[in-house]
């Protein structure tokens, strides 16, 4: 294959992976954005909307947890492309079905199924891009995938705002089906095909429970938990925080999520570029974690928020938590080819699924110390654990990925 053709294939791969993540984020966050509208349409009383919304979100997150493991194993055993095709079919059908829900149990079941499908998209895309580019430049490829893909949150807000909530789900499902057609032009990872010819154990999730690997895997997860605490709780239930902080206007969580993801997209470009320029992943994440904690304190220790002030803060929340792409790249670079898809697919979904534990802890603390103090406690806890986890991980910039886990 000529150098020009190879570059063209890599560019097309980055484009398809970016659009896949775009649709993934659209569908993943659409529920959070149109939660109140959809639950109100199903007849849920106003005082039960927050509780019901958290319940449904936990079902979606549980699907992501299970799907992250499932698709990761399939990616290492059957190939990265099998995940790209299978996952998009599952979540597209589930989201179309979401437009026909009539009861909360039905809603929960479909969010669970959609969660399983959504779990495969990012990990498979990042794994393919990482294995198809040079070790010096792959950070730019993963940066583009995440940076472009995260703008799906903006699309979700616009569609959710302009159209009836059922239509918004139909749009997400339709985008997935259209994207499926693009997937037919993508090639399998050469690194995977080379490894697949060898007699090695592939996609064995239990291998991650070997002591050294397990702590490496756990540390990969912990460095990104603060991000989903910000999105799922600090921004996700912003109206409740607004009341506790004496906000002079209602804080719209849907619009807050949109601005947060605009910031995350910009942050991914910034953190990805900085990690390439300074040739370090860890130091960049340290800086972004510190800025994230500062933004948390600004939010929780100030009162009298206006809606516009909150949306500006959300933009900075996103910018500072925009180390997501570097975090996923770190995870991909920590493990060998026979476990890489398992790790890269499951780790982001373990982070998303960690929101279940964070939510349960938050709700428990809420009853004892109130919403603001509960959030402060969890902010300190998640940031501290992220610092410790990052310290324990190896620097992986420029690492050769052509190796096997024995």
Average pLDDT of the segment spanning 390-394: 94
Which one is predicted more confidently, 166 or 254?
A: 166
Q: For 36-58, write each residue's pLDDT tens digit.
A: 888 888 988 888 887 888 788 88
pLDDT at 225: 95
| pLDDT of 10 over the 90 cut | no
The average confidence (pLDDT) of the chain is: 86
Looking at 82-86, 199-203, 237-241, 299-303, which range is the least confident one?
199-203
Q: What is the pLDDT of residue 246?
A: 92
Residue 11, pLDDT > 70, answer yes
CB 13, CB 129: distance < 8 Å:
yes
HEC readout, the chain: CCHHHHHHHHHHHHHHHHHHHHHHHHHHHHHHHHHHHHHHHCCCCHHHHHHHHHHHHHHHHHHHHHHHHHHHHHHHHHCHHHHHHHHHHHHHHHHHHHCCCCCHHHHHHHHHHHHHHHCCHHHHHHHHHHHHCCCCCHHHHHHHHHHHHCCHHHHHHHHHHHCCHHHHHHHHHHHHHHHHHHHHHCCCCHHHHHHHCCCCCCCCHHHHHCHHHHHHHHHHHHCCHHHHHHHHHHHCCHHHHHHHCCCCCCCCHHHHHHHHHHHHHHHHHHHHHHHHHCCCCHHHHHHHHHHHHHHHHHHHCCCCCCHHHHHHHHHHHHHHCCCHHHHHHHHHHHCCHHHHHHHHHHHHHHHHHHHHHHHHHHHHHHHHHHHHHHHHHHHHHHHHHHHHHHHHCCCCCCCCCCCCCC
pLDDT band at 16 (very low <50, low <70, confident <90, very high): confident
Residue 270 pLDDT more than 70?
Answer: yes
- 106 has a pLDDT exceeding 50: yes
Please say whether the beta carbons of 69 and 346 come within 8 A: yes
Q: What is the pLDDT of residues 187-220, one digit of tens each?
A: 766 776 777 777 777 778 888 888 889 999 999 9
Is the entire prediction scored with pTM above 0.85?
no
What pLDDT sits at residue 5?
Answer: 56
CA distance linking residue 348 with residue 324, whole number of Å: 9
Question: How far apart (Å, rounded) are the C-alpha atoms in residues 325 and 264?
Answer: 9
Which domains does the chain carry?
A: 3-184+206-392 (1.20.1250.20)
Of the pLDDT bands very low, low, confident and very high (cuts 50, 70, 90), residue 1 is very low
């Amino acid at each position: 294959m000529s150098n020009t053709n190879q570059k063209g294939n890599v560019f097309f791969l980055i484009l398809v992976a970016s659009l896949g993540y775009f649709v993934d984020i659209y569908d993943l966050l659409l529920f959070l954005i149109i939660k109140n509208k959809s639950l109100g349409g199903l007849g849920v009383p106003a005082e039960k909307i927050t509780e019901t919304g958290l319940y449904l979100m936990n079902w979606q997150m549980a699907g992501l947890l299970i799907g992250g493991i499932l698709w990761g194993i399939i990616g290492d055993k059957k190939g990265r492309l099998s995940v790209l095709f299978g996952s998009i079919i599952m979540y597209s059908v589930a989201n179309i079905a979401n437009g026909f829900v009539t009861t909360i149990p039905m809603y929960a079941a479909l969010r669970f199924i959609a969660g399983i499908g959504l779990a495969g998209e990012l990990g498979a895309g990042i794994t393919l891009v990482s294995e198809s580019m040079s070790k010096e430049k792959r950070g730019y490829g993963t940066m583009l995938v995440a940076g472009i893909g995260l703008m799906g949150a903006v699309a979700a807000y616009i569609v959710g705002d302009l159209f009836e909530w059922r239509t918004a789900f139909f749009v997400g499902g339709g985008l997935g089906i259209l994207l499926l057609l693009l997937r037919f032009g993508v090639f399998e990872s050469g690194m995977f095909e080379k490894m697949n010819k060898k007699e090695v154990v592939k996609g064995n999730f239990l291998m991650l429970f070997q002591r050294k690997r397990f702590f490496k895997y756990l540390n990969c997860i912990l460095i990104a938990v603060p991000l989903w605490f910000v999105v799922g709780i600090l921004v996700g239930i912003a109206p409740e925080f607004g009341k506790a902080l004496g906000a002079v206007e209602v804080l719209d969580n849907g619009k807050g999520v949109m601005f947060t993801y605009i910031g995350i997209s910009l942050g991914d470009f910034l953190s990805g570029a900085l990690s390439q320029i300074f040739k370090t992943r860890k130091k960049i994440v340290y800086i972004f974690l510190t800025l994230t904690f500062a933004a948390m304190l600004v939010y929780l220790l100030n009162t009298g928020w206006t809606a516009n002030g909150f949306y500006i803060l959300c933009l900075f929340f996103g910018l500072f938590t925009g180390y997501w792409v570097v975090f996923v790249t770190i995870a991909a670079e920590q493990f060998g080819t026979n476990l890489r898809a398992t790790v890269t697919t499951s780790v982001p979904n373990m982070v998303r699924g960690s929101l279940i534990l964070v939510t349960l802890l938050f709700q428990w603390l809420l009853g004892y110390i109130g919403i603001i103090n509960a959030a402060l406690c969890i902010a300190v806890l998640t940031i501290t654990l992220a610092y410790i986890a990052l310290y324990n991980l190896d620097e992986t910039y420029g690492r050769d990925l052509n190796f096997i886990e024995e």
